[in-house]
Structure 1
Amino acid sequence: MSLLDLWTAGQETTTVTLKWAFSFLLLHPQVKSRVEEELLSITKGQRPLSVTDRTNTPYYNAVLNVLLKEIHRCALIVPMNFWRVTSEDTMVGSYFISKGTSIAAQISSIMTDEKYFIDKYQFNPDRYLTGDRIEQVVVPFGFGKRACPGESLAQAELYLMSSFDYHNFPYFESPKVSER
């Protein structure tokens, strides 16, 4: 994997995530309105949001966190993880995997598993507010030592870019748009 691979992957996923965020927010105008109110209370419509404003935008932060997880789950922006090669023979459940085998986590099968998501094709950010362990299932940036190295940059970009669009462009609800 080269630096160009990492840069391209980060640019593409962040751009696609922003596009989906705008789409889902158009379908949920009550969330969009509340975010707009909070952002206007900080910027007074006179300046763009800054990363230093993050501590003053709790609802927007929560929406971005939840939106990010639910967008990655519904839109399957990253359907599978990077390929790895096993360094030793191992067992995964009842399956034997020999040393040198190429493997990848099929993230899309986890994010649409009916064991965790009863209405798996329904965009529902509220599912993350129940206090159950669902956040441990949806990990768009991975976790541990193999987590995405650009997570904090992507989070900052999503925070600033989506707030820039709120500040500069009106959103109009379309009666012809639906989730499915």
Structure 2
Amino acid sequence: MLYNPEIQIKIHEEIDRVIGKDKTITMLDQSKLPYFNACLQEVQRIATVIPLNLFHRAIEDIKFDGFLIPKGTAIIPQYELIHKDEKEFPEPWKFDPCRFLDSNNNFLKDDRVTPFSVGKRNCAGEGMARMELFLFSSTFFQHYEFKPIDAKNLPPFEFDYSLAKSIKPFFVHVIERK
């Protein structure tokens, strides 16, 4: 949001128009906030907190995209490569929530964005995590505005990598909205 203040303004406008500043946001409100949901999905696409999944092994010979993957081959899904693939997401480093809105500004859930993995071994807590993420972040935007400490010197997008990817610490002004 520090790099895209116009997007933060649109989020605030949508929440103010649909929910207001005083009502507690609930899961019943999620479908009423398509722009916010698109922003949340775009954050998950760009951030890719878990860039590599756990090792898997092919249980049989697989032909994929013209290549043979022999039985027993270790397979490591790399979600970040998909999330930043220019064929899948034009201008992949551009924060563009509109890529997840249709022509009527309805939210489009995109199955290529996989913050919780895919298939039968995806995150068991995905449903609860999605609810918490929506409630936590929408409530933050309902009540606060995020501004850079120095608008001419924005914090860099630098990450620490381990099992999970996390942004390096930076300072930000969190201002209560009136």
Alignment: residue pair count: 151
Partner residue of 1:39 out of 7, 12, 15: 15
Deviation at 1:35, TM superposition (A): 2.6
Secondary structure at the aligned position of 1:172 is classed as strand
| Structure 2 counterparts to residues 29-178 of structure 1, below 5 A | 29-41=5-17, 44-55=20-31, 58=32, 60-64=33-37, 66-129=38-101, 135-172=110-147, 175-176=151-152, 177=154
Is this contact kept in 2: 1:81–1:105, CA < 8 A? yes
Q: How large is the Cα RMSD of the aligned pairs?
A: 3.2
Q: Which has the larger share of helix? A: 1
Q: Which residue of 1 aligns with 2:174?
A: none
Is this contact kept in 2: 1:69–1:140, CA < 8 A? no
Deviation at 1:161, TM superposition (A): 0.7
What are the ranges of 5 or more consecutive residues in structure 2 without an aligned counterpart?
158-178
What are the ranges of 5 or more consecutive residues in structure 1 without an aligned counterpart?
1-24
| Identity over aligned pairs, percent | 29
Q: Which has the larger share of strand? A: 2
Is this contact kept in 2: 1:141–1:151, CA < 8 A? yes
Deviation at 1:130, TM superposition (A): 5.8
How high is the TM-score relative to the length of structure 1?
0.64
Deviation at 1:42, TM superposition (A): 5.4
How high is the TM-score relative to the length of structure 2?
0.65
Compared CA separation, residues 38 and 113, structure 1 to 2 (3 A): closer
| Structure 2 counterparts to residues 10-29 of structure 1, below 5 A | 25-29=1-5
Deviations 1:34-53 (A, max 9, x none): 33234334554334322233
